[in-house]
Amino acid sequence: MKAAVWYGKKDVRVEEREVKAAQAGQVKIKVQYAGICGSDLHAYHHGVGIQEGDKHPLSGQNAPLTLGHEFAGVVSELGDHVSGINVGDRVVVEPLYHCGKCEYCIQGRYNQCTQFGFVGLNGDGGFAEYVVVESYMVHALPDNVSFEEGALVEPTAVALHAVRHSKLKVGQKVAVYGAGPIGLLTILSAKAAGASEIYAVDVFDERLNLAAKLGAIPVNSAQVNATETILQQSGGIDVAYEAAGVQPTMDSAIAVIKKGGEVVVIAAIPTPLQVNFFELLVKEANLTSTLAYRHIFPEVVSLIAEGALDVKQVITKKIKLDNIVEEGLELLMSDKSHAKILIEING
């Protein structure tokens, strides 16, 4: 089969790989569409996030690995002891490895598993014609949800988990810092949750134009003082979602929230940031964070199926697997007019 395999920084190769058989408790999926995530960009451009050295304790794999953790497809093979799933089922994959035995898994917080990992980063992923995953990762995809939409369930789950984790109430005001794919999906999720006003903050007009199409009020922080602009227009924000992960956006997020407000960090922030805890104290505000998602894929699929989350709006390009480097991994860094690029694999 054809697969996009990570060998190192700036070294992703589309090559032929053996199609693995589904072992006990596993499911083989013929992938239809897969989305390129920021994690894939970090792996390609910076060489970070991939399982190197020791093999992952749950996947038993290490690099070179097939990338891709946002994907949907059709079940093509079942391993022994798999129930509730049939060959031919349309499915989407929740790509989190978890042990099911540690204290966090027992408490239902499997996204905090002590052996946490991702398909496509810690084991072979969905940028391939076929992928084998654990049966607990597989969720049904109804007929009225396309495979393209299915490939967006995973990033939408990140956004919806953050909104559901927050204290947002119907009619409140929101600011979303960062208008990349996760920020855009957070705008959609906050809108679905009943936010009355949503401000989108970014430095690229191309991204802000996409945010505006989703119903957000665009604020270009490279052209205006984002904090002053939002405060003047809104009178204060109830919940700020930090999906950019840099010092200026963190500072502004804390500055724009009302007394008793909340900042929710979604971005993976590699460099430590300073936090104005005195301002949080004076406002008696909350600062919290979310990691991926848990117990939310069925709800995301249902919301897409019902039309409450029109995730198709963030798709800006579809490409073939052969062109993943030039038209995907490289293009997303150079052309900020793109949000989510999907790879048509067996579409």
Check residue 270 and give its pLDDT: 82
Nearest to 189 by CA among 68, 64, 24, 314: 314
pLDDT tens-digit profile of 96-112? 999 999 999 999 999 99
In a domain, 101, yes or no: yes
In a domain, 147, yes or no: no
Instruction: Indicate if 72 and 162 belong to the same structural domain.
Output: no
> What residue numbers bound the domain in which 135 lies?
2-141+310-344
pTM of the model: 0.97
Check residue 52 and give its pLDDT: 96
Sign for the CA dihedral angle at 26, 130, 66, 105 comes to: negative
Instruction: Indicate if 163 and 251 belong to the same structural domain.
Output: yes
The CATH number given to whatever domain includes residue 218 is 3.40.50.720
State whether residue 309 is helix, strand or coil: coil
Both tokens of 156, joined, read 């939408």
Instruction: Indicate if 163 and 283 belong to the same structural domain.
Output: yes
In a domain, 136, yes or no: yes
Region 156-173: mean pLDDT is: 98
Model confidence at 347, pLDDT cuts 50, 70, 90, reads: low
Question: How far, in whole angstroms, is CA 210 from its chain's centroid?
Answer: 17
Mean pLDDT of the chain: 97
In a domain, 300, yes or no: no
Instruction: Indicate if 36 and 132 belong to the same structural domain.
Output: yes
pLDDT tens-digit profile of 169-180? 999 999 999 999
Check residue 271 and give its pLDDT: 87
Instruction: Indicate if 13 and 118 belong to the same structural domain.
Output: yes
Instruction: Indicate if 73 and 173 belong to the same structural domain.
Output: no
Instruction: Indicate if 121 and 224 belong to the same structural domain.
Output: no
Q: How many domains does the chain have?
A: 2
Instruction: Indicate if 257 and 321 belong to the same structural domain.
Output: no
Both tokens of 229, joined, read 């602009």
Statement: residue 212 has pLDDT above 80: yes
How many helices (DSSP H) and strands (DSSP E) are in the chain? Answer: 12, 18
pLDDT tens-digit profile of 129-154? 999 999 999 999 999 999 999 999 99
In a domain, 146, yes or no: no
Question: How far, in whole angstroms, is CA 304 from its chain's centroid?
Answer: 15
Model confidence at 346, pLDDT cuts 50, 70, 90, reads: confident
Instruction: Indicate if 179 and 281 belong to the same structural domain.
Output: yes
Region 257-284: mean pLDDT is: 95
Both tokens of 250, joined, read 């963190």
In a domain, 301, yes or no: no
Nearest to 240 by CA among 274, 273, 199: 199
